[in-house]
Amino acid sequence: MAIASIAYTAAAGGLALALSTTWLALRNRLRFTKVRDELSADLTAKSGMLRELDAATTAFDEAFLAVEGDVVRLVWGEDTLRHCAEALGLKITDTSAIAPQVMQALGDTSAEAAEGLKALISEGKACRFEIFAETPQALSGNPPSGLTLIVEGKASGATAWIRLAIAGAKASLSSGPFAQMAERLPAPCWICARDGRIVWANTAWLKAVEVTNLEEAIKKDLSFDRNADSLVMEAMDQHMRREGFRWLTVGGQRRAFQIIAEPLNDAYVCAYAVDVTEAEDSREALKRHAKAHDETLDALEDAVAIFGPEKQLMFHNRAFETLWELEPAWLAERPTHGEWLDRLRQKRRLPETSDYSGFKARESEAFSLTHTSDDEMWSLPDGRSLRVVRQPHPLGGLLILFSDKTGELKLKAQFNALIQVQKSTLDQLNDAVSVYGSDGRLRLRNQAFDRFWNIQPDDVAAVMDFSQIAELCLPLVHDRGFWTELKARVTDTDPLARAPQLGEVKISDGRLAQWRTQPLPDGATLVAFSDITATRQLEKAIDARDEALNESVRLKRDFVANVSYELRTPLTTIVGYADLLQAQTNDNPKQKAYLDSIQSAAQELARSIDDVLDMAQIDAGEMSIHRADVRLLDVVAEVGLRLSDTFKARGVSFDYDGVVETGLIRVDAKRLAQCLEHLLGNAIRNASAGSAVKLHAQKDQDNLVLEVAYSGRGIPYHVQAHIFDRYIGRERGGPGLGLALVKALVELHDGWITLESEPNEGASFKIHLPGQSEAGKDDAPAAPKLELVEPTHADDADHSDDASVVDVA
401 within 8 A of 388, measured Cβ to Cβ: yes
The Cβ-side half-sphere exposure at 213, using a 13 Å CA radius, reads 6
Q: How many Å apart are CA 130 and CA 116, to the nearest integer? A: 11
Q: How many Å apart are CA 77 and CA 164, to the nearest integer? A: 9
Q: Specify the DSSP class assigned to residue 780.
A: S
Q: Any idea what the Cα angle at residue 773 is, between residues 767 and 779, rounded to 5°?
A: 115
Q: What is the pLDDT of residue 710?
A: 92
**Who contacts 159 (Cβ-Cβ below 8 Å, separation ≥6)?**
66, 67, 68
Q: What is the pLDDT of residue 693?
A: 92
State pTM to two decimals. Answer: 0.36
Q: How many Å apart are CA 707 and CA 769, to the nearest integer? A: 11
Q: How many residues does the chain have?
A: 809
User: What does each C-alpha distance from 745 to 561, 715, 772 come to in angstroms?
Assistant: 20, 22, 17
Q: What are phi and psi of 699, to 5 degrees?
A: -115, 115
| Three-class DSSP category at 41 | helix
Strands 145-156 and 127-135: antiparallel
445 within 8 A of 427, measured Cβ to Cβ: no
Q: What is the pLDDT of residue 719?
A: 84
| Three-class DSSP category at 192 | strand
DSSP E strands in 136-232: the ranges are 145-156, 159-166, 189-193, 198-201
**Who contacts 549 (Cβ-Cβ below 8 Å, separation ≥6)?**
none
185 within 8 A of 177, measured Cβ to Cβ: no
Residues of the chain with pLDDT under 50: 136-144, 169-172, 174, 730-734, 782-809
Q: By C-alpha distance, which of 718, 599, 709 is closest to 654? A: 709
* Contacts of 474-480 spanning 24+ positions with Cβ under 8 A: 475/508, 476/507, 476/508, 476/509, 477/505, 477/507, 477/508, 478/508, 479/505
Neighbours of 707 (CB within 10 A): 18
306 within 8 A of 397, measured Cβ to Cβ: yes
Q: How many Å apart are CA 743 and CA 722, to the nearest integer? A: 12
Q: What is the pLDDT of residue 792?
A: 32
* Contacts of 231-235 spanning 24+ positions with Cβ under 8 A: 231/259, 231/261, 231/271, 232/192, 232/196, 232/261, 232/269, 232/271, 233/196, 234/261, 235/261, 235/262, 235/263, 235/269, 235/271
Q: What is the pLDDT of residue 694?
A: 92
Q: By C-alpha distance, which of 619, 651, 597, 628 is closest to 747? A: 619
Beta bridge partners of 313: 307
Residue type, 313: L
Residue type, 210: E
| Three-class DSSP category at 317 | coil
**Who contacts 741 (Cβ-Cβ below 8 Å, separation ≥6)?**
611, 614, 615, 618, 674, 675, 678
Q: What is the pLDDT of residue 709?
A: 93
Neighbours of 470 (CB within 10 A): 16
| Three-class DSSP category at 336 | strand
Distance of CA 732 to the CA centre of its chain: 78
Q: What is the pLDDT of residue 736?
A: 63
Q: How many Å apart are CA 521 and CA 498, to the nearest integer? A: 11
Q: How many Å apart are CA 318 and CA 776, to the nearest integer? A: 72
User: What does each C-alpha distance from 800 to 294, 529, 636, 660 come to in angstroms?
Assistant: 100, 79, 19, 22
Secondary structure of 645-702 in HEC code, one letter for each residue? HHHHHHCCEEEEECCCCCCEEEECHHHHHHHHHHHHHHHHHHECCCCEEEEEEEEECC
| Three-class DSSP category at 475 | coil
Q: What is the pLDDT of residue 53?
A: 66
Burial class (CB in 10 A: 0-12, 13-18, 19+), 22: exposed
Q: What are phi and psi of 241, to 5 degrees?
A: -70, 135
Element (H, E) at 417: helix 406-427
Q: By C-alpha distance, which of 140, 180, 149 is closest to 77? A: 149
Q: How many Å apart are CA 508 and CA 464, to the nearest integer? A: 24
Helix 738-748 and helix 669-686, axial crossing angle in degrees, nearest 10: 150
40 within 8 A of 49, measured Cβ to Cβ: no
**Who contacts 373 (Cβ-Cβ below 8 Å, separation ≥6)?**
366, 389, 390, 391
| Three-class DSSP category at 454 | coil
Q: What percent of the chain is helix, strand and coil (3-state, nearest 5)?
A: 50, 25, 30
pLDDT tens digit string along 151-199?
A: 888 888 778 888 887 765 444 454 556 667 777 788 899 888 777 778 8
Q: How many Å apart are CA 628 and CA 635, to the nearest integer? A: 12
Would the CA dihedral through 711, 715, 721, 726 be positive or negative? negative
Q: How many Å apart are CA 28 and CA 32, to the nearest integer? A: 6
Element (H, E) at 137: helix 137-140
| Three-class DSSP category at 103 | helix
Q: By C-alpha distance, which of 169, 367, 200, 363 is closest to 270? A: 200
Please measure the distance between the N-terminal and C-terminal CA atoms of the chain and give it in whole angstroms.
230
